[in-house]
Amino acid sequence: MKATIFHNPRCSTSRAALALLNDAGADVTVVEYLKTPPSRDELARLCARAGVAPSAALRKDAPAVANDDEALDLMVRDPATIQRPFVETAAGVVLARPADRVRDLL
């Protein structure tokens, strides 16, 4: 199984999700989103596939936004505001918080 994780190696939840993928034998592509931020279109696609509103994909400590367009703009401008990790496989996308949500894709 192929998987992509939008990962922050300093985040324990992101590390746990990556470990679950590795333990399952997934062929994992790791995207360190702080170094290689996703585009606005990519963020919108991930949110849509995960079934979460862009405003729900913001970290709790992110500045307040009025709508989902503003949320996407903020995440593009400041990738540190993206809640993590997004994990994508052929089975779908999850915002793996908690990390065990990765199991929904295995």
Residues designated catalytic: 11
Give me the amino acid identity at 13.
T
For residues 82 and 68, what is the distance between their CA atoms, to the nearest angstrom?
Answer: 13
CB atoms within 10 A of CB 29: 12
- Of the candidates 28, 16, 32, which has an alpha carbon nearest to the alpha carbon of residue 79? 32
The rounded distance, in Å, linking the Cα atoms of 103 and 78 is 29
